[in-house]
Structure 1
């Protein structure tokens, strides 16, 4: 009898487990069938595709099969059937995507009447120009000129299919000499001198000569300043002179100021022109770490002072240790600028350095409550533990269940589970685009429960709620990270910080530059590093595999660390911006406190990167339930480049 009861209990437990598994993944069987149908469609096995897809009409991703099938044969599908598909799935991402594909097809066919009927706003530039072509072809020219000028009046060449539209503007005498000069200026200042010369064909021979000289000034600014054309004080000459001096200042601030001091008295430059150029020269000097940069920034006329100039006045004063100037400059910030944690930190430091200890401690104590790089530095100054302030997102389970049950979220989840990541991200972006703040938080919680960390991180960021550290700082791959980090004598928190900053835990991330996977390795870097450390890598596509990416990424990170004497600050800068840039930024002859060196990194992206890596390391210490290492311990003084292996001769 006991055996029978045991069997019954065991059977009930097994059935409950199976039922639980089924309810947690109710579409598992359909998903397998769906992927078979998807494979058959891609391999042009249409008979197999039809047979398999017939069984999936109730599956949430069946519309995607319809979409892919129809889009792949769009030339052979009637307009009525395409329109019916768009109407059937109106409001879904595949409806918008099908509309876009249809518009391209209609443009290729020259069916402009249907194109204009189907067209909706917010399309890519190519389709915008096709729309204007359609208006020209059908004589529907209302609003055409204004829309076309918006596309024409930019500083770069547009796509080829805009040419007929721009020809229309030219043929109808819309492009005036004044408009030509506007676009030429845009092209020059956006680094497209060849476009400027092309546009100048519509000007007189005399004006074309000015544009050609302006083009030459881009690469030969010093020589251009000696041109005979510039001897006469006319507007074109002044404009090219200002541009040439600005180009010189980009690489040689001393020479720029020398040339400017010689030229300025000979021409009638306006106060605005003078102020703008002197501001830009002073900023260039700052980015070159010129010893007179702060002096030149302070000398810029008040009328030319803006937020960037105020920022670099503080940075250069910090760099040279002019603490009274730091106090003065932080007082000159706008109310919004003054709330920024970075300026609060440097003001507190300057107050302390100038003997205003009580006010400094008061400012540091308030800042130390912030959970970021400068907040942690303030806590280090006070010798206080870090305040993480973790506040998990509160939500109503019924509301979360309702959100998860919406068709768009079901489709996104299924695409994610099917590892069709690009389509999954497109679906996700579509369904969250108009969500309220509260629903964005719910969506982030949902993505986190699905282990879709990058969507959770990016979605909660859109809600501007940064308090749920468990959601924002995942600890996936814990076993691999600990083991690999230990093997390369790296802090696990460092590896996690790089993964979090580089990819937000998106294992199939690919940057515009081609960097791959969790730690964003360039294929060449991956191959070379794998070979050097005897890590098998038969194909760079394997860099998308988390364990392989973490192994090779950690090996590369260790290489970079060794090049900089295990200095995390410099290794982070090199990982982000490249060793050649870091070499230019290092002090020439004396060491520099790391905090002050970081403040002078000229690239916002790299400066933010360094600061985030350090802050994320502290947060990951907390996430791994270990004492947070004060970030100041990772910040030894920065030495001249000869001190580092990376720059040994």
Structure 2
């Protein structure tokens, strides 16, 4: 262990501690860190200050010092901050505190200090800080040529209200670098996302005297649209009135799209500008498409100019057209998206399919082939489907050259990786994940190379921190280690249990990888637990169903019990949906009642069905589980695989067949 001599004391102690760190706190220093984390979450400044001396010299001292100073940042002296930056130079905590300080300086409008500090900010991933920085550039006369476009993009991407981008947008609007329509569109996006404060901030920029009207339409969009205020008085007319009506129709459509359609076709058909009408029809069409209504394309058909719609509206127009088999509409909707949206593999794939769908000429076939070749790989759902469209099976690419002892040692000597793993294994998962991600994202040379990422992933794998192993390995580009990206912990238990009840082990692994990333103590926001993320009520029902005697909810986190119950439920779901892997995966994620409804309608290619799943989380989940399954099958069997064969088709249940598990929760 001679290499420890060249490390800082913090790094060396981290490495030495990693070798013997148990699941629980191993010493009083660990206890102090855990206590400080709780005090920080509670905002207990006094306790943090009292505990900080006991954390000095600990591997995770940077976290202790960060919590203590961050809790009183609003009253900290500049010298204290500079001392922190110096003592913890190069760490995640240094840059995290700098990020926090930049936000506070922006809120205080202390542009001189902001400009002095910002060049040292390494993360560069905070949208609000970026907006403040662009505003400072504007003040200094050094704004980049595309500043207004960047501010608009950042502002639109912020779902919650924030000071930085709102302030920058306000200034740009005042200088006529953002138009009134740009600002009203932000308000529309906020209303559609049910972000009332963000909508208010936008309206305050362009028409502050309209804020009472905004409050009225948010309280009762129908009353506003019928022309009466809260006291029954007629409301005003004019351009602002049109924009407020557009917001009101948007608000109404999110809860009752049919009522919004009636009002738009009646009272408001001649009172709104074409662009305003098109936007509202886009919202109505999206809402109808999310309900799998056949009327969705009727509503979208009332839009004369697709470029008046948002990318989200156009995505749902394309999905509705896929469901209806209207390939020309699919193609037109994708063509109207922004360049960034069109580059997503989802729309690259469906654009290619649309080109090939109806008697294509040589030019269309060539364009489709180029699109498919641009995304084809074994790495994801549409990437795998693109391979198959090109006539290629899905196989495991050759493994990269084994990591050398030197490459592994370099990863194990990295202080940030050590602190990240130490924190995770101590129970400070959120903090550890953030430090790990920061360390793998940033490096003295400007970013980890593929080989360095593989070595970092290998370090996490060796400590059985599977989520960091997978996520880090997934970031390599030129070299791919599929066995590292798709590990198989607890292989004997998973394979034996799956095969024992007639499940494909690859399907089980594909689901676990998406559910928990193999974190044994994973717990979701809704209470699901363990490797297979089983809900307590579901676990009790399944235990009774399979005759698991003596089961109690506290056993959910036991590895073997979790696998037993999770696989049993998955098999019951698979049987309930006649062996359809996409439907069973959707049932596992969203409950069986929803996919029972979602399957009604035409018989669809399951890829089209999956793309039309109304819930974004479940839509993403189904696609990832099936792609994972195909990769795991290739790894387990060593044979070429087909994603299409696992997808099949999805349509209504055959009424003549019995429903095996109607009580499936």
Normalising by structure 2, what TM-score?
Answer: 0.66
Instruction: Give the equivalent residue in structure 2 for 1:503.
Output: 516
Aligned partner of 1:245 in structure 2 is: 249
For 1:407, the equivalent position in structure 2 comes to 415
**Which residue is equivalent to 1:434?**
442
Cα shift at 1:331 = 6.2
Distance in 1 separating the partners of 2:196 and 2:337: 37
Deviations 1:558-614 (A, max 9, x none): 2332332332111222223344443443324x4333233223223343223222211
- For 2:561 and 2:596, locate their aligned partners in 1 and report how far apart those are by CA, in whole Å: 30
Q: Does 1:344 pair with 2:335? A: no
CA displacement, residues 607-627 of structure 1 (integer Å, 9 cap, x when unaligned): 232222111111101111353
**CA deviation vs aligned residue, 1:68-97 (integer Å, no higher than 9, x gap):** 69989999xx99999988855444456778
Q: RMSD of the TM alignment (CA)?
A: 5.8
Aligned to 1:492: 505
Partner of residue 623, structure 2: 611
- Which residue of the other structure, out of 14, 25, 28, is the alignment partner of 1:37? 28
Structure 1 CA distance for aligned equivalents of residues 350 and 200 of structure 2? 49
CA contact (8 A) 1:327 1:351 kept: no
CA separation of 1:615/1:390 partners in 2, compared to 1, >3 Å: closer, same or farther?
A: farther
Cα distance in structure 1, aligned partners of 2:100 and 2:493: 43
What is the aligned counterpart of 1:316 among 291, 316, 320? 320
User: 1:82 and 1:363, CA in 2 relative to 1: closer, same or farther beyond 3 A?
Assistant: closer
Rounded to whole Å, the distance in 2 between the matches of 1:362 and 1:97 is: 46
Stretch of structure 1 that moved more, 277-286 or 352-361: 352-361
Question: What is the TM-score normalised by the length of structure 1?
Answer: 0.67
Relative distance call for 1:432 and 1:636 in structure 2 (3 A) is closer
1:354 aligns with 2:359: yes
Instruction: Output the CA distance in 2 between the equivalents of 1:84 and 1:99.
Output: 12
Moved more, 226-235 or 358-367: 358-367
Aligned-partner Cα distance in 1 for 2:349–2:468 = 32
Q: What is the distance in 1 between the residues matched to 2:202 and 2:315?
A: 37
Matched, 1:286 2:289: yes
Match of 1:49 in 2: none
CA apart distance, 1:43: 11
Q: 2:55 matched to 1:62?
A: no
**Does the aligned pair in 1 maintain the 2:345–2:383 contact within 8 Å?**
no
Q: Which residue of 2 aligns with 1:171?
A: none
CA pair 518-230 structure 1, distance change in 2 beyond 3 A: farther
Which has the higher mean CA deviation after the structures are superposed, 206-215 or 443-452?
Answer: 206-215
Question: In 2 relative to 1, CA 276–157 (structure 1 residues): closer, same or farther, beyond 3 Å?
Answer: closer
Give runs of aligned pairs for residues 139-218 of structure 1, distance below 5 A. 190-191=193-194, 210-217=213-220
Which residue among 217, 229, 233 is the counterpart of 2:237? 233
CA distance in 2, matches of 1:101, 1:294: 46
Using the TM superposition, give the Cα deviation of residue 460 of structure 1 relative to its aligned residue in structure 2, in angstroms: 3.1
Change (3 A) 1:498 1:389: same
- Aligned partner of residue 490 in structure 1, secondary structure: coil
The 8 Å contact of residues 530 and 552 in structure 1, kept in 2 or not, is answered as: yes
How many equivalent pairs are there? Answer: 566
> Who wins on radius of gyration, i.e. which is larger?
1
Instruction: Give the aligned partner of residue 640 of structure 1.
Output: 652
**Is the contact between residue 278 and residue 302 of structure 2 (CA under 8 Å) also seen in structure 1?**
no
SS state at 1:607 partner: helix
What are structure 2's unaligned runs of at least 5 residues? 1-14, 36-54, 102-113, 130-155, 164-179
Contact persistence 2:351–2:368 (CA under 8 A):
no
Report if the CA contact (8 A) 2:598-2:613 is conserved: yes
- Give, in whole Å, the separation in 1 of the partners of 2:159 and 2:312: 23
The structure-2 alpha-carbon separation of the partners of 1:260 and 1:548, relative to structure 1 and needing over 3 Å to count, comes to same
**Pairwise CA distance, 1:474:** 0.5
Deviation at 1:222, TM superposition (A): 7.4
Report how far residue 397 of structure 1 moved: 4.0
Q: Are the aligned partners of 1:282 and 1:297 in contact in 2 as well (CA < 8 Å)?
A: yes
Alpha-carbon distance in 1 for matches of 2:561, 2:573? 18
d(CA) in 2 for partners of 1:527 and 1:82? 52
> Does the aligned pair in 2 maintain the 1:379–1:385 contact within 8 Å?
yes
Q: Distance in 2 between matches of 1:344 and 1:195?
A: 34
Moved more, 611-620 or 280-289: 280-289
The CA distance in 2 between the partners of 1:207 and 1:89, in whole Å, is 49
Q: Deviations over 1:101-132 (max 9, x none)?
A: 99xxxxxxxxxxxxx9xx99899x9xx9xxxx
Q: Is residue 2:460 matched to residue 1:447?
A: yes
Q: Find the partner of 1:370 among 365, 377, 384.
A: 377
User: Relative to 1, partners in 2 of residues 1:322 and 1:646: Cα closer, same or farther, differing over 3 Å?
Assistant: farther
Alpha-carbon distance in structure 2 between the residues aligned to 1:325 and 1:476: 45
Q: How does 1:451-466 map to 2 (within 5 A)?
A: 451-464=464-477
Deviation at residue 451 of structure 1 after TM alignment: 3.5
Superposed counterparts of 1:21-170, under 5 Å: 31=21, 35-38=26-29, 62-64=58-60, 88-93=87-92
SS in 1 for 2:220: helix
CA distance in 2 between counterparts of 1:492 and 1:411 reads: 35
Q: 1:327 to 1:223 in 2, by over 3 A?
A: closer
Equivalent of 2:495, from 482, 498, 503?
A: 482
Shift of 1:406: 3.0
Deviations, residues 313-350 of structure 1 (Å, cap 9, x unaligned): 43333222234544566666676626736543563465
Question: Are the structure 2 counterparts of residues 380 and 41 from structure 1 closer, same or farther at C-alpha, using a change threshold of 3 Å?
Answer: closer
The 3-state SS of whatever aligns with 1:476 is coil
In 2, Cα distance between equivalents of 1:197 and 1:349: 41
1:598 paired with 2:610, answer: yes
Query: Secondary structure at 1:437's aligned position in 2?
Result: coil
Q: How big is the shift at 1:495?
A: 0.8
**1:503, CA displacement in angstroms?**
2.3
Structure with more of its chain in helix, by fraction: 1
1:557 equivalent to 2:570? Answer yes
Partner SS, residue 370 of structure 1: coil
**CA 1:404–1:279 in structure 2 vs 1: closer, same or farther (change >3 Å)?**
same
Quote the Cα distance in structure 2 between the aligned partners of 1:348 and 1:199: 39
Structure 1 unaligned spans of 5+: 1-24, 45-55, 103-115, 129-152, 160-177
Whole-Å separation in 2 of the counterparts to 1:645 and 1:511 = 29
**Are 1:385 and 2:390 counterparts?**
no
What's the offset of the Cα at 1:492? Answer: 0.6
Mapped to 2, the partners of 1:362 and 1:389 lie a distance apart of 26
Check 1:404–1:213 CA distance in 2 against 1; reply closer, same or farther (3 A cut): same
Shift in alpha-carbon separation, 1:307–1:355, aligned structure 2, 3 A: same
User: Which residue in 2 is equivalent to 1:261?
Assistant: 265
Counterpart of 1:263 in 2: which secondary structure? coil
Cα distance, 1:494 vs structure 2 = 0.8
3-state DSSP of counterpart to 1:264: coil
